A and B are shown apart, each in its own frame.
Chain A
Amino acid sequence: MSKNSYKTNILIVGVGGQGSLLASKILGSIANIMGYDCKLSEVHGMSQRGGSVVTHVRIDDEVISPIITPGEADYIIAFEMLEALRWAYYLKQDGVIIVNEQKILPMPVIMGKEKYPSDVLNDLRSKNINVCEINGLQLAHDAGGSKSVNVVLIGVFCALNNIPFDVAKDALYLCVKKQFLDMNVKALKFGYESVCKAQ
């Protein structure tokens, strides 16, 4: 979505209930404000109950299929570490994965039947993947509530992708209820300003 390349495939992955639907909606609004075509594919229903959820966001002059093909995502925004690892194969060679450093243990791990990988960020980097990690939960708390992790991560994405802050803010205004606006604008700002240098 930066000026010289507007074809952007973004995969948003996380755990049901983390707020990925709002995140994708904000990205859709950003695309609209910037004048591009956009399609989103969401997950509703059973998987929303604590399951692994994935939302596809495709932005281009003209988008055909709403689904991103594995190996063709420009960005993955991972709300949770294990989900980052699970969906990393969707990333294209020089793509970037934004990882929220939060762990939510899946039931087989809670039951002791499977192990949560010990160093997800290192696992990703060992595959030559560009990783941008962020403590989204901390920033969300600083902004006034853990629920705003999704907006923090959108802030990170926008900063990495050279989307003007005001455009992201305008999109936020279109998607968020008034009573949560102050907290979310803060969350967006904290995410935006935190951007680390992904290699």
Chain B
Amino acid sequence: MKSLLLANEAIARGAYEAGVKVISSYPGTPSTEITESAAKFSEMYVEWAPNEKVALETAIGASFAGARSMSCMKHVGLNVAADPLFTVAYSGVNAGLVVVVADDPGMHSSQNEQDSRYYALSAHVPMLEPADSQEAKDFVKVAYTISEKYDTPVIIRLTTRIAHSRSYVELEDRFEADAKVFSKDVSKYVMMPAMARGRHKIVEEREKKLQEEIPNYNLNKTIIRNKKIGIVCAGNVYQYCKEATDASLFKLGLVYPIDFNAIKKFSQEVKELLVIEELEPFIEDSLKANGIKCHGKEIFGVQGEFSVAYIREKLYGKNPPKSEALIPVRPPVMCPGCPHRSVLYALKQLRLTVNGDIGCYTLGASAPISAVDACVCMGASIGLSHGFDKANPENSKKTVSVIGDSTFVHSGITGLINAVYNQGKSTIIILDNSITGMTGHQDNPTTGKTIRGEHTYQLNLKELCEACGASSVRVVDSYNIDEVKKVIKEELERPSVSVVIARRPCALLIKKHAPYQKILQDKCKNCGMCLAIGCPAIEKRSDGMPINKELCVGCKVCNQMCKFGAIVQGDSNE
């Protein structure tokens, strides 16, 4: 049976067919749908972990215990999980272990454009890169074979265009792998210096052996076409090269270790060898270091996504049509009724320095709210404010951190403990919208529900922050601008660490909206104050400022902005 699947869904299907028993992940665009769709197979245990490090450690534990396991994350998530990755590369596996990492060239939804292939190189872990959904599924199965045969974790790398593209996949039955037994083996599973030295040798031998045996797995393929140019490529770039050129192609399915012998042979068949790869010159540098003459990066660069049009432009000077008109940009915005909007607006009014974090509230850096001043990585907002405080104690009276509930649990808790332990004075605002929002609504420990919607222990953020030693933890209604302002002002004056939990569920979670709001044009003075909150539902037109009924969810934040009482509840029959 054929099914039109996202590569992410195909990875989940591959895990199912490969007899995987445990999957633990943290959501992150463009990897989220792997774990979400895996949760639909009752044969596998699937969970959201609080962060990628815990997720990978759980998968490692399951592998040691004898169950095929998987952990999925976005590129920056692998930084969080790098610690266990580098050491499980030494200890190896019991049952197969696959880590799926999704890079985001072009930064559709990320804070950097890092190239995760270097993790494979530096941790000495094989890495596979599929070029469509069918390969995504097939490669998962090969990955488990390689993992168990060579006693190594295996990484599957996706990029956004693969992860979020759909193509047909042939579905097959699940293979029930026999459960393996965990037997005590200190030299393999306990990575203390003496044992790790022994394992490091094995890692090197393992890699050599795999290098020799790569052809057995048919992961790479050669397509001989015009022999003037030969192109080495992988993943989505292979598809672009195939369509944009008539050149001969060497497609890598195994991007680490690279089959140098086969590429050398290929290079002898063509006049000129090009490497076309997004991001860093990972393949190109490796080929050059192994004495294979090639080039590419000086033409294609290291930034952004490639495409058929881009490759034609760079190779043949063919310019695709471009948009000529000056069209207003449409940046992403906080949704109508987003509970972050009113809190961030309050912070702007208080003229505070706002250390932001990773989540929808980062959008509060854009006009007209323009409240967020810094954003680095998951959990960083709290460390940043503590740093501001220690750089100059006066800063703590005008600096706050804003962090979402899921991000706080991911890696904000240790920041809070640090600020308290080191006698800081930060004020931390947890924007608790009861969900992991930006990635498309995943449950987390604060929602009291598992990935499959089962009820579980609900982490109490207030009690947690108190237990960490915050001297004051107060809960406010995100929609109430005056209350938010008052409480934050008081907490900034407090000479110790305090936490304000601003609470309101994500507007997209509410299926039945409150009645929409409307502007009484006879009372409206056209002052524009309601526009300052940057709600996409309020439109500015030459004949006044109507509220778009289709967009308004009735949060009434705009009512608080109007000094003339011109904004009122609309008639539900209108």
Q: Which of B237-245, B471-479, B489-497 contacts A (4 or more CB under 8 A)?
A: B237-245
**Shortest distance in angstroms between A62's beta carbon and chain B's nearest beta carbon?**
11
Q: Which of A49-57, A154-162, A176-184, A188-196 contacts B (4 or more CB under 8 A)?
A: A49-57
Q: Assess the B161–A41 pair: CB atoms within 8 A.
A: yes
**Shortest distance in angstroms between A73's beta carbon and chain B's nearest beta carbon?**
11
**Shortest distance in angstroms between B557's beta carbon and chain A's nearest beta carbon?**
15
Contacts of A38 in B (CB 8 A): 4, 166-168
B550 within 8 A of A: yes
**What CA separation (Å) do A180 and B50 show in the bound complex?**
34
B563 within 8 A of A: no
| Interface size range of chain A in the complex | 35 or more
- Number of residues on chain B facing chain A (CB within 8 A): 59
Contacts of B334 in A (CB 8 A): 49-50
A65 within 8 A of B: yes
B568 within 8 A of A: no
Q: A85-101: which residues lie under 8 A (CB-CB) from chain B?
A: 85-90
Q: Assess the A46–B323 pair: CB atoms within 8 A.
A: no
Q: Which of B281-289, B407-415, B445-453, B532-540 contacts A (4 or more CB under 8 A)?
A: B532-540
Known: A49-B363, A65-B308, A67-B308. A109 touches B328 (CB 8 A): yes
Contacts of B335 in A (CB 8 A): 17, 49-50
A57 (CB) vs chain B CBs: closest residue: B166
Between A and B, how many residue pairs show CB distances below 8 Å? Answer: 176
**What CA separation (Å) do A66 and B30 show in the bound complex?**
16
Known: A43-B108, A71-B321. A66 touches B327 (CB 8 A): no
B362 (CB) vs chain A CBs: closest residue: A46
**What CA separation (Å) do A49 and B536 show in the bound complex?**
11
A42 within 8 A of B: yes
Main secondary structure of the interface of B (DSSP, over half): loop
**What CA separation (Å) do A40 and B6 show in the bound complex?**
8
Contacts of A15 in B (CB 8 A): 330
Known: A29-B4, A40-B4, A71-B321. A64 touches B108 (CB 8 A): no
Q: Assess the A45–B239 pair: CB atoms within 8 A.
A: no
**Shortest distance in angstroms between A191's beta carbon and chain B's nearest beta carbon?**
18
B305 (CB) vs chain A CBs: closest residue: A67
Contacts of A198 in B (CB 8 A): none
B164 within 8 A of A: yes
Known: A42-B164, A109-B540. A70 touches B320 (CB 8 A): yes
Contacts of A69 in B (CB 8 A): 307-309, 312, 320
Q: Assess the B161–A107 pair: CB atoms within 8 A.
A: no
**What CA separation (Å) do A146 and B540 show in the bound complex?**
22
B551 within 8 A of A: yes
Known: A107-B366, A107-B368. A86 touches B164 (CB 8 A): no
Selected from B108, B328, B531, B550, the residue in CB contact (under 8 A) with A45 is B108
Contacts of B239 in A (CB 8 A): 64-66
Contacts of A146 in B (CB 8 A): 550
Q: Assess the A41–B108 pair: CB atoms within 8 A.
A: no
Q: Assess the A44–B30 pair: CB atoms within 8 A.
A: yes
Q: Assess the A114–B164 pair: CB atoms within 8 A.
A: no
Contacts of A88 in B (CB 8 A): 323
Selected from B309, B333, B531, the residue in CB contact (under 8 A) with A49 is B333
Known: A45-B29, A110-B531. A71 touches B320 (CB 8 A): yes
A110 (CB) vs chain B CBs: closest residue: B540
Q: B391-443: which residues lie under 8 A (CB-CB) from chain A?
A: 438-440
**What CA separation (Å) do A37 and B168 show in the bound complex?**
8
B184 within 8 A of A: no
Q: B304-361: which residues lie under 8 A (CB-CB) from chain A?
A: 307-309, 312, 320-325, 327-335, 360
Known: A112-B540, A117-B327. A67 touches B438 (CB 8 A): no
Q: B138-191: which residues lie under 8 A (CB-CB) from chain A?
A: 161, 164-168
Q: Assess the A39–B368 pair: CB atoms within 8 A.
A: no
**What CA separation (Å) do A28 and B168 show in the bound complex?**
10
> Which A residues are within 8 Å of any B CB, using their own CB?
15-17, 24-25, 28-29, 32, 37-52, 63-67, 69-71, 82-83, 85-90, 104-117, 123, 137, 146
Extra 20 A-B pairs, beta carbons < 8 Å, given A38-B168, A47-B109: A15-B330, A25-B166, A28-B4, A39-B132, A40-B4, A40-B165, A44-B164, A48-B440, A49-B335, A49-B363, A50-B334, A51-B331, A65-B243, A66-B161, A66-B166, A66-B239, A104-B548, A106-B329, A108-B331, A111-B367
Name 14 interchain pairs, CB-CB below 8 A, sorted by A.
A17-B335, A24-B166, A41-B161, A42-B165, A45-B438, A48-B440, A49-B335, A65-B243, A66-B166, A67-B308, A82-B328, A86-B323, A89-B323, A89-B324
Q: Which 7 A-B pairs have the closest CB atoms?
A: A45-B109, A45-B29, A51-B332, A106-B330, A114-B328, A66-B165, A46-B109
